[in-house]
Amino acid sequence: MRAIHVPNGRHTRRRTMGVVAASAILLVGLWSRPLLRAADTLPGQLADDAFWKLIDDFSEPGGVFQSENFLSNENGFQAVIPRLVQTVRPDGVYMGVGPEQNFTYIAAIRPKIAFIVDIRHQNMIEHMMYRALFELSPNRVEFLARLFSRKRPSGMDDSSTVDELIGAYARMPSDEGAFKKTLQDMKDLLLKKHGFPLTGDDEAALEHVYSVFHEFGPGLNYNSRAGGRIGRGGGMPDYAELMTASDRQGQKRSYLASEANYRVIRDLERRNLIVPLTGDFGGDKALRAVARYLNDHNATVSAFYLSNVERYLFQVTGNQNGGWRNFYENVAALPLDSSSTFIRSVSGGVRGGSFGMRLPNVIASMQETLAGVNDGTIRTYDDVFAISR
């Protein structure tokens, strides 16, 4: 395994592990030098062509996954937010994977820019759907009407709680006319107003994703699909449950919990500062491209939401591309400091047991994780939780 450079605020560490034949001798060396970072030069807004160029240039060919993941299945994802906001620096860079749960983390830590990297190209298209819906909708009431293609319930306004909003839309029937109008409005905005060169397949994927939201409404869950619902058991939370969830202190922190949270995401979306990419965490392009961009702009990663992707990376044998070693080498290329934080899901897999067990997410230092990989204390998926809290 190649040495991984571990940035550490004012110093950069490099630990090297050498394995010699069967008698494996571990050689760990420490190297450091002063690291001075200039003020970041991240743009306050990306022009439409610059936004699409990042997507096009940084993305990799799409891969496959076991489900379509229209939304999160982690109902404990808000538990870490109080500690997260105390740990990370605001105005940094957010990175993540998957669909809507990223919005809640972004609303909490308020980065300057966010990159969402997912191996499923459809996830990028879903984020383009959200990109359009946020721009079309000045407030939560209108956003939910468009997201689920329902008529706006009477009595709902900016002062309505998220429980009131979700409850009201859950009682509204789906509206075919609203679905067709919003779908056309989204296509007009993305293709005509902004000139994003979506392909015919992209447009078909957009319609497919939106049709699922139209069909299931706030009852949409991880296993919902157009034409029927599969796997409703196992404790899978639906959109309504995720948006009305709270942290351990009972505070609701979803991106729809308040108009203030909603406006954070809408503002970033309208400025093209939530950038969805198609990419493999263990691949050789997407994360490296983001790393170069951030280093060029003297920017630092504040938080990186992983869900349980590491679980699948550790299943890749040897040093094949796409495995965990490649992933951590990609992470090591990112500009980090002592506050840079991983957010992990422990639902399912080694730690969480079956998917029926919904456990709170955990956080960990990105630098400590890289150091653990270098010194050999991290060799399995279970090992990453030894330094998580």
Using an 8 Å Cβ cutoff, are 242 and 347 in contact? no
Q: What is the pLDDT of residue 222?
A: 82
Tell me what the pLDDT averaged over the chain comes to.
Answer: 86
What SS3 class is residue 118?
Answer: strand
CB burial readout 303-336, b (16+ within 10 A) else e: bbbbbbbbbbbbebeeeeebbbbbbbbbbbbbbb
d(CA 286, CA 284) in angstroms, rounded, equals 7
Contacts of 303 (CB under 8 A, 6+ apart): 84, 88, 92, 94, 95, 105, 109, 111, 340, 341, 342, 343
pTM for this one? 0.88
Q: Give 7's pLDDT tier (boundaries 50, 70, 90).
A: low
Paired sense of beta strands 301-307 and 93-96, if any: parallel
pLDDT at 37 over 70: no
Of 379 and 352, which is predicted with more confidence?
A: 379
Mean pLDDT of 142-159: 97
Report d(CA 347, CA 236) in Å as an integer. Answer: 11
Cβ partners under 8 Å of residue 343, min gap 6: 80, 84, 96, 105, 303, 304, 305, 306, 361, 362, 363
pLDDT digits (tens, 9 = 90+) for 261-290: 999 999 999 999 999 999 999 999 999 999
CA distances from 295 to 56, 237, 329, 333, 336 (A): 19, 38, 15, 9, 10
Q: How many CA atoms does the CB half-sphere of 183 hold within 13 Å?
A: 19
* Cβ 330 vs Cβ 288: under 8 Å: yes
Residue among 388, 95, 101, 98 at smallest CA distance from 237:
101
Q: What is the mean pLDDT of residues 362-368?
A: 96
pLDDT digits (tens, 9 = 90+) for 174-203: 999 999 999 999 999 999 999 999 999 999
pLDDT-derived band at 20, boundaries 50, 70, 90: very low
Q: Letter for the amino acid at 343?
A: I
- Give the whole-angstrom CA distance, residue 72 versus residue 101: 6
Q: What does the domain layout of the chain look like in residue ranges?
A: 4-387
What pLDDT, on a 0 to 100 scale, did the predictor assign at position 96?
Answer: 98
3-state SS, residue 12 = strand
How many Å apart are CA 130 and CA 124, to the nearest integer? 10
